[in-house]
Amino acid sequence: MMNRMNIRRRASFALLAALVGATIWMPSAARAETSEQVNEVRQLLEQYHLSKPDDKDLNQSAIDGMVETLHDPYTEYFDEEEWKKFSSDLEQNFTGIGIVLIEEDGVVYAEDVIPGSPAEAAGLLPGDAIVSADGKSVRGLNVTELQKQLRGAEGTRVTVGVERDGKTLAFPIVRKTLQLPVATGQMMGDGVGYVALSGFTSDAGSLFADQVAKLEKAGMRSLLIDLRNNGGGYVTAAQHIAGLFIKDGVLAHLKDRDGKDDPISVSGGGKPYPVTILVNGNSASASELLAGALQDYGVAKLVGTKTFGKGVVQSIIPLKSGGVLKVTVQEYYTPNGRKVDKTGLTPDHVIEGAGEQLIGAYRDAGGKALTVGIGKGSVVINGVRTARPNAAFRRGSSWYVNLRLAAALAGAKVGYDSKTKTITLSRGSTIYKLKSGDSRLANKNGFNLIDSGTLARWFPGLTAEAAANGQLKLTVR
């Protein structure tokens, strides 16, 4: 069991390059203590301090102190156990049952179930409300609290109780070590192929290429790459992927502390179709490396929100004395020389909201027809599931849809006049107005929603109907 945002962020802002150096540079101490003084203090602390520290504790503290003087969140020292966990996180391995959790209206739901996971094998489904763990109620717990209840060692069992269609079901599940799917792809319709890349693991380049090849065989005419919430990883993976699209050029310019430029070259690629890349504020490091390069070469348009802004590179240096040092050694710039660190990349088409971004990117990629299913905590857009709490709710016989999501579906713009307290929906020269308090509007958890029937009447080609599974289905033709 993992929360999707946590899964994708575990490697966030992590190392961009895995390089081995022969020497280690470290700054001098804040004061000019000699090595003899440092050793003498260490010995005295070991001999007299109440806590009885040993060499390992004091050595760790000394190293941590040196690293902290750099004020660099990306330079870290790992002991053997910490490095093992970090490496596992970077490869997106975790132990659990394999469900993605999301909270809506005080209830935690299975927003998604990871393919090949114990949860999928047991029969859990997206939309299941999690109500108990090993017979104990978990009602009222948030996602983080529920995660603690469901965690456990590999091979141990937990019985997960869920509510589905008014029934309470129990699923005994054995936890195991899983890898979050790194690259997943599908056709979205109208010739648009979609590939989501959750991290730049050591094998991400080949996994991504495999997905693209499958979509090309299926007749893909335009590619949509989803890098949202992808916190980065290995530079070699980004280089591999960029090489599919750039015929001859560089992935980035890497500059060391002396200003020396060491460009990363790429070549051999070139595709006959346009590329659109989805990014957001959690797209960092290698995600920005790849997106910035494809944007500079005119290969891809970026859609979404401004990226995180991690434009520095770390080297991995195993220490002879044990442990590993991850140290920042270079800053990178896009092929056109744009700075990324603490700046980020600005999309060509700025769109807020996860569902709205996917709809906008799909249309930018040439897609037209849309089928959207709205359930608890998520929306499914042409087969692609995206977390989206408070997207719709039912009141009596009427369904209300999040106003901004509805506008995205209708191809309309939302406006608000604070003087008259009027909401507007406009498409072309047609403008519809709704006063605050209008019965066709609803407010839930601070979000404005619009009656789906009104939406369908205003925008021909858009239909709304209740689905058999208790969800709302919207279609645009």
d(CA 316, CA 234): 11
Catalytic residue among 295, 310, 452, 471: 310
Q: State residue 29's pLDDT score.
A: 38
Give the domain 93-179 fold: Pdz3 Domain (2.30.42)
Active site residue 265: no
pLDDT in tens, the chain (477 residues): 444 434 443 333 333 433 332 333 333 334 445 667 666 666 666 676 666 777 777 677 777 777 787 788 998 888 899 999 999 999 999 999 999 999 998 999 999 999 999 999 999 999 999 999 999 999 999 999 999 999 999 999 999 999 998 899 999 999 999 999 999 999 999 999 999 999 999 999 999 999 999 999 999 999 999 999 999 999 999 999 999 999 999 999 999 989 999 999 999 889 999 999 999 999 999 999 999 999 999 999 999 999 999 999 998 988 887 888 898 999 999 999 999 999 999 999 999 999 999 999 999 999 999 999 998 889 999 999 999 888 999 988 899 999 999 999 999 999 999 999 999 999 999 999 999 889 999 998 888 999 999 999 999 899 999 887 778 999 998
Active site residue 310: yes
- Amino acid symbol at 366: G
Other Cβ atoms within 10 Å of 187 Cβ, number: 16
d(CA 198, CA 180): 8
CA 183 to chain centre: 12
Nearest Cα to 10, choosing from 128, 220, 178, 255?
178
Global pTM?
A: 0.87
d(CA 98, CA 151): 11
Active site residue 51: no
CA 172 to chain centre: 29
Q: State residue 48's pLDDT score.
A: 64
Residues present in the chain in total: 477
Catalytic residue among 314, 315, 330, 378: 314
Nearest Cα to 99, choosing from 74, 76, 120, 129?
120
Q: State residue 49's pLDDT score.
A: 61
Catalytic residue among 285, 287, 378, 471: 285
DSSP E strands in 134-175: the ranges are: 136-137, 157-164, 167-174
φ, ψ (nearest 5 deg) of residue 432: -110, 140
Task: Put residue 42 in one of left, alpha, beta given phi > 0 → left and psi -120 to 50 → alpha.
Answer: alpha
Question: Cβ neighbours of residue 184 under 8 Å, at least 6 residues apart?
Answer: 195, 196, 211
Q: State residue 69's pLDDT score.
A: 76
3-state secondary structure of 85: helix
Q: What are the extents of the domains in the chain? A: 93-179, 183-350, 366-476
Task: Kindly report the CATH number that applies to the domain delimited by 183-350.
Answer: 3.90.226.10
Cβ 304 vs Cβ 229: under 8 Å: no
Q: State residue 470's pLDDT score.
A: 76
